[in-house]
């Protein structure tokens, strides 16, 4: 399911706006970006290797909230990047695309709060 860059960015903004207030009020100094594909540096940072069946939907880059010390100030924003091509490749329609973007944004925000993949999966289980 392909959409324009503007439409994809709007989906990301909508997902950010839907972050529950109890979490959103603690999001400080975080930039939400979109990109077509991850850079080689982002690919390495994520631990995914292109061509090995792994698809990177999003990436959190920064210092998770629990690891910050009292001296944490004057730093560049943490960055959450959502990758458009991967979402388009996996989403068969607009409804699934929107749901996937929402889940990716939440997943990366959970990393901001210091949760690892196991903890995130446990929270996502019904």
Which tens digit of pLDDT belongs to each residue from 6-46?
A: 999 999 999 999 998 989 999 999 999 999 999 989 988 88
Q: Flag whether pLDDT at 98 surpasses 60.
A: yes
Structure token digits, residue 43: 């690919």
Structure token digits, residue 66: 């629990």
Of 80 and 20, more confident? 80
Helix axes 94-112, 117-124, angle to 10 degrees: 130
d(CA 77, CA 63): 10
pTM of the predicted model as reported, rounded to 2 decimal places: 0.90
Cβ atoms of 107 and 32 within 8 Å: the answer is no
User: Average pLDDT of 60-83?
Assistant: 90
């Amino acid at each position: 399911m392909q959409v324009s860059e503007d439409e994809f960015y709007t989906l990301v903004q909508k997902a950010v706006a839907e972050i529950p207030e109890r979490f959103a009020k603690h999001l400080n100094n975080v930039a939400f970006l979109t990109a077509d594909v991850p850079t080689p540096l982002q690919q390495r940072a994520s631990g995914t290797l292109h061509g090995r069946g792994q698809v990177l939907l999003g990436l959190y880059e920064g210092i998770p909230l629990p690891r910050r010390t009292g001296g944490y100030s004057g730093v560049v924003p943490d960055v959450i990047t959502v990758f458009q091509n991967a979402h388009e490749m996996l989403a068969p329609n607009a409804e699934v695309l929107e749901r996937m973007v929402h889940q990716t944004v939440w997943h990366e925000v959970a990393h901001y709060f210091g949760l690892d993949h196991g903890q995130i999966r446990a929270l996502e289980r019904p």
